[in-house]
Chains A and B, each alone.
Chain A
């Protein structure tokens, strides 16, 4: 944030985790300064859209206040949960994909959109654990949430790759099963390769450059979704801003190529 304020690089927009700005007054003041030059979008990590216990109304009020104050361009959250019995687990925990969960998530998304006074985007998570009683595939589950609540979807291409690698799924099939019209934003990031019990496991740590497979999936995704805002996420071992700008430039180049390809398709 300091680098953005001192160097004033050419950025199309800035996306932040709202939780870091709710009660930290100097950080909030800095965000207001950034907002003077570029639009700001909010990418929440603690709303807990998948909680059986429902949403925290106090947190929603604080979020609404911040979103209104900075005129947030987009507000997004995850298909995950973190709140149970009044306790917040500081992580995006996985959900069993069942009819019961679908009803609960839709109830919570409805409540969030009403409390925030705007449409939200729901992002596909990275998963390391599946449930025996899950009976709906994740992209269909997301499509159904969008259809029932009118929310948009945030397609994190790296998360699709991580989840697909961890569970032996087809990432292209996943992207093709998402409702293209509902996609309001795309995320890209790096991940970390490790193993458990002799089996490979990819961990989404937002701590590296985007890998070649994810760039290829990104190209495929844009072919389906058309022109949508793209964000590079990097939270851990933060590189100089120039590296982030380099990744963003690459995303822009691919987006430009995909648009030209689709124009060519139409012309033929």
Chain B
């Protein structure tokens, strides 16, 4: 007797992998063949997921053209189909998939453009958090300040690339300019202000400081990393700027809190 488990496993292989053989014997073929009928569902699945990826990686699509994008997307969908009912996280692995995709090797900056687009997509949907003012650090004990952790606004992220992906991305927001792909590396801060997404290039020391803090490093580690980039790093100025830019949305002072201990 046919069980639902067999049918569903065969259907999964048909719509995601394109192998119709196991499903075909179950399908009623009045008027239209089994392949024709299964094809309707396979087409729905592949085109809707491709459209979802194109929506999340529009600059990647423009760089490679929609024909090639569909080919890469279909390969990705086959290799890494969605694992969750909520598709918000789908596509997070697309940048690393592109990095390993042999025919993308001619565009070495493509995976980092994809990383930039994914981070922008993610911060656009991030939760809202109230900023702290510098007064929150009023009771800070100088001995334990190095172990302080600051919580970054969830709508902020960082990206470092060997390629000028910020300029490449910017050039594709309008048709006016072609980006010079030989313009060198970039270190950028990505941020949602209200509904607007912004990309800002940072100096190496400031990037090291902020990205380390955002990644969960304690203040002492972040300062060390910043000084490794530049001996001129102005720690007090950098810390004050975090607060004036409403970057800090929480803190864990080891002297006053048990959190994280």
Contact = CB atoms under 8 A, between A and B. Distances in A.
Interface in B74-133: 81-89, 124-128
B88 A22 contact: yes
Contact of B16 (A81, A89, A199): A89
Contacts of B38: 129
Contact of B36 (A19, A22, A197): A197
Interface stretch (B23-31, B163-171, B229-237, B246-254): B23-31
B249 to A, nearest CB: 13
Q: Taking chain B's interface residues, is the majority helix, strand, or loop, or is none over half, making it mixed?
A: helix
A168 B18 CA distance: 28
Contacts of A47: 85
Contact of A52 (B5, B31, B48): B5
A122 to B, nearest CB: 17
Given A59-B84, A89-B81, A23 B32 contact: no
A26 B11 contact: no
B28 A87 contact: no
A85 B152 CA distance: 37
A25 to B, nearest CB: 4
Interface in A203-248: 203
A133 B2 CA distance: 8
A136 to B, nearest CB: 13
B9 interface: yes
A22 B86 contact: yes
B8 A51 contact: yes
A11 interface: no
Given A87-B81, A88-B85, A131-B7, A201 B40 contact: yes
Contact of B125 (A25, A56, A82, A95): A25
Contacts of A183: none
Contact of A25 (B37, B81, B83, B128): B128
Given A27-B125, A88-B84, A90-B87, A199 B9 contact: no
Contacts of A173: none
B48 to A, nearest CB: 5
Contact of B195 (A26, A88, A94): A26
B49 A100 contact: no
Nearest to B82: A88
Nearest to A96: B7
A93 B9 contact: no
Interface residues of B, number: 45
B8 A201 contact: no
Interface residues of A, number: 51
B173 interface: no
Contacts of A149: none
Nearest to A129: B37
B83 A128 contact: no
Nearest to A56: B85
B41 interface: yes
A93 B41 contact: yes
Interface string B234-260: 000000000000000000000000000
A78 B48 CA distance: 18
A63 to B, nearest CB: 9
A76 to B, nearest CB: 15
A163 B26 CA distance: 18
By CB atoms of chain B within 10 A, which of A25, A86, A94 has the most? A25
Given A22-B88, A96-B4, A91 B45 contact: yes
Contacts of A196: 32, 36-37, 39-40
Interface of B: 2-5, 7-9, 11-12, 15-16, 25-28, 30-33, 36-41, 44-45, 48-49, 52, 81-89, 124-128, 195
Closest 8 CB pairs of A and B: A46-B85, A129-B37, A130-B28, A59-B85, A88-B82, A128-B40, A84-B12, A25-B127
